[in-house]
Structure 1
């Protein structure tokens, strides 16, 4: 995930304006840039205690620390090779986690309806009094990534040590921070006898998001679609986004309004082996290495979509922080999309891959014995697909790029057998490129291409309209900024979340982890941690979010 904190942490395009020492840009008219802000939305009209009243005390802080610690101490790891639920004993910590949640949030479990979906998926429904109002769905996931080596951590990863500022542990930030804050917000609301929601709220907590969510969210979403129907939710909120970034005199809050697509392509090469003392010019590993070189030598083209989330974000920045990046502001003023794209690509990998399909050779396996040429070699390449590309393009590109190598070594290609477009992929082998002077050697080999984990680039949620105004107005209220303006604007996520399974339930799908320190939290690596101040702010946001949506009339 691409994220950035506020306090001087550089991120997407965040940097204090004072670093530049530039004179005012007299040629720039900020108001010409699109980026009207909705009003700040304070939920105090409902008569409930404010978020600050409830969650700013020492006792409230201590309570949240205990809640988050209890949940982090359960090692609810999802492994890529997990068997079926109920058959693989490595699922057992999830049962313990459910017990901890019930003990920690007794009012939620008393007043909400809880359903277990595919045994471990948790679906809570808080019924509203007005059935004419569309429900709102809040999401988080129960599972965490594995720990590679506990000895490399400062504190044991499942002790949830609190050092006075941070809680340390695997999953404390991704995503048990959100899970705890969402349930804590509803524990507070449901504990108040004066609060009877008008709108229904649904909480969906999958248990295998780190493995693409097919067992968890992938089972919960169809149930909701059958129960409520298409476009039946006013809004859906999950983890994610690009965080909060201070630029000049503005604080940019960047929820993900869309995600890039995702596809893994595997290249499985079977060739004749033999004794290593009389090798072929290239072993199977050598051929696969040549494939990697060919793929990496031809990256996908970057492209900025006009009036897409990235372009709109930059227009907001040109309007409210025009002097932070003068060259960029001038490019935006000239509507120079190609120039803006080049600027983003040169800026950093973070900005580059917002506008470009990424390609990463992540898995390679081959060879059994040091004196025997490998007969089977496997390559796995991960792609995150930009909106101007498609999964089919990525698959076709892989076939096209390896065509010369396939011919050079006399390989039989079996691309994507079982795919609907099988014949088209085979046709993609035809190339005008000639095999270079090296004589073709018949390796009696077969190269099988297959795919795994497909998801298309998601639809782009609107950043206007009634639902956005409530969401963005809540952001502006919760993250009130002393130094200037709070600017909520959508962005594209390079990573993927469980929301891929909920497409069609609402046009308003947002991915936003409301923790300004999230970028600093070491998610998916050694010493994952979360600042308690950030967790409290998350809790305040969810509490305000629910109240504001409950008061909305659409």
Structure 2
């Protein structure tokens, strides 16, 4: 063993702490505005502030919500409610006539929409803007809890209510409004612009985005797109006096695990000490009482976000800021940062794999012992982890309960414990996706994208805040259609520009889903300016 004097360790830590104080952990970046905006900003002013355009936008988004393009788990091309999608397509054609006259439209796998606005320079890689047409169902048992009918698209003067208002018809309509406005003003792109709208994102995208991406791959080849923008990210907000936006440059993985327990039946008058349902309840308790460990390395964009907060805001104390900066090499500081993240709902599941027991079935009669109980657990996998690691943890939980109650255990048709007279567990993972690779946040594509976000933030959303805004790369806890496009570009950004958190405030996938008309108009303005800035400044 080599002896290292204590003073040398202390001295090294002191040197590193001094370096951390002078390091630019989170470059603010440039605000990108199209050159014509700097000469005349009347077009963006019209989009954001004109009352007639506001009313028109309400009608368009409200009308889109009134088309219940719902998809259900297990839907196929034959069982999906195609009539509603066809009606929605007709609605879009009526609302955006210039877009449908100017852009070519291809129907991919019946209901997928791919619009192509051909640029004048075919040597330039296309820019892809994405969203999805489908929405999640509304539970009949909760329909009465909605303030307004979930498919009414009701506008109360500030908010537009209904399924899809937040996720994500606001993006479909916002992108099409931006394109319609550009065409109306005579804009002609040098770079091809693509708009792609799948129809089954809420159930995995295998019929919609998967087919569209294959079509694009055949046309443009591997890495054939300039960049891609889809839903995701976290709402922008003023944090410690500084406007912060959090587009996602990566997304967590996913695995759905199904666990079944088969046991002998019988009459309820002579029950075992623990019925099938009781044993599964103990398993659920064990799973929830043993959460996945916290994990965050320096490559996790959530760590970059915390560095941006520490460097550019007053949110943290000076002492905690130093802990954030030191956490890449100081285990004690890293533990404190992770413990902090665990107390903030928006951050908690950016630094650990989540687990949610979403479905349970069991029992058929009150005086008949249950013979089969099943549970379905949804996991969103930390970018530092994997599907195998996630499944392994759950199998260990099941193994513990199986041993306690002398039960067998199958995993993927392999017997880890032989079935007994008491019964057996079966564990499968029918749906899985590894975490996405992290998109670069230091190249031209990011510079123009982030700079365009800063433009709308500084000029329209937070015009009275003198501090420059910060666009901090982050990750999204949900999954998107972008998983089908990984081979087409490394520059994948997941961001629905908004000041309203889609899940925590906009109630995405829940009762009373809504968005504000002002956020929708900011989104239109962003798409309008982003398309122009990519066309003007991008060289790749």
Q: Shared topology, TM-score over 0.5?
A: yes
CA distance in 2, matches of 1:164, 1:287: 52
Distance across 1 between alignment mates of 2:379 and 2:315? 35
Which whole-Å CA distance do the structure 2 matches of 1:151 and 1:493 have between them? 31
Q: Distance in 2 between matches of 1:53 and 1:28?
A: 48
Instruction: Say whether residues 1:339 and 2:331 are aligned partners.
Output: no
- Structure 1 segment 62-461 matched on structure 2, within 5 A: 62-82=55-75, 84-85=76-77, 87-88=78-79, 90-148=81-139, 149-193=142-186, 195-322=187-314, 324-335=316-327, 336-345=333-342, 347-417=343-413, 442-461=420-439
What is the rounded CA distance, in whole Å, between the counterparts of 2:497 and 2:122 in structure 1? 29
Moved more, 464-473 or 140-149: 140-149
Specify the alignment match of 1:504 in structure 2: 487
1:198-245: CA deviation from partner (whole Å, max 9, x where unpaired): 101111111111112222112212222222111111111001101102
Indicate if the aligned counterparts of 1:262 and 1:383 stay in contact, CA closer than 8 A: yes
Q: CA deviation at 1:412?
A: 3.2
Conserved 8 A contact 1:263-1:383: yes
CA contact (8 A) 2:294 2:338 kept: yes
Asked if structure 2 preserves the Cα contact closer than 8 Å seen for 1:263 and 1:451, the reply is: yes
How big is the shift at 1:100? 0.3
Q: Measured at CA, do residues 325 and 244 of structure 1 come closer, stay the same or move farther in structure 2, by a change above 3 Å?
A: farther
SS at match of 1:399: helix
Alignment correspondent of 2:33: 42
1:309 and 1:476 map into 2 onto residues whose CA distance is: 18
**TM-score when normalising by structure 1:** 0.87
Q: 1:159 to 1:284 in 2, by over 3 A?
A: same
Structure 2: how far apart are the matches of 1:78 and 1:89? 7
Query: C-alpha distance in 2, partners of 1:332/1:377?
Result: 45
Alpha-carbon distance between aligned partners in 2 of 1:525 and 1:95, rounded to the nearest angstrom: 25
Distance (whole Å) between structure 2 residues aligned to residue 33 and residue 65 of structure 1: 43
Mean Cα displacement is larger for which, 262-271 or 46-55?
Answer: 46-55
In structure 1, how many angstroms separate the alpha carbons of the residues matched to 2:272 and 2:125?
A: 66
Root mean square deviation of aligned Cα: 2.2
Kindly indicate whether the alpha-carbon contact (under 8 Å) linking 1:121 and 1:205 is maintained by their aligned counterparts in 2.
Answer: yes
Cα distance in 2 for partners of 1:514, 1:309 equals 18
Counterpart of 1:180 in 2: which secondary structure?
A: helix
Moved more, 460-469 or 401-410: 401-410
Specify the alignment match of 1:538 in structure 2: 523
Pick closer, same or farther for the CA change 1:175–1:357 going to 2, 3 Å: same
> Unaligned regions of 5+ residues in structure 1, if any?
1-26, 431-440
| SS class of match (2:81) | helix
Bigger mean CA deviation after superposition, 37-46 or 27-36: 27-36
Distance 2:473 2:62 in 1: 32
Partners of 1:212 and 1:453 within 8 A in 2:
no
Any idea what SS the aligned residue of 1:507 has?
A: coil
Could you tell me how far apart the structure 2 residues matched to 1:150 and 1:397 are? 37
Q: Distance in 1 between matches of 2:47 and 2:396?
A: 60
Q: Is the 8 A contact 1:178 1:538 kept in 2?
A: yes
Count of paired positions: 507
Give the TM-score taking structure 2 as reference length: 0.89
Cα distance in 1 for partners of 2:321, 2:33 equals 33
Which secondary structure state, in structure 2, belongs to the residue aligned with residue 227 of structure 1? helix
Residues in 2 aligned to 1:303 and 1:79: alpha-carbon distance in whole angstroms: 34
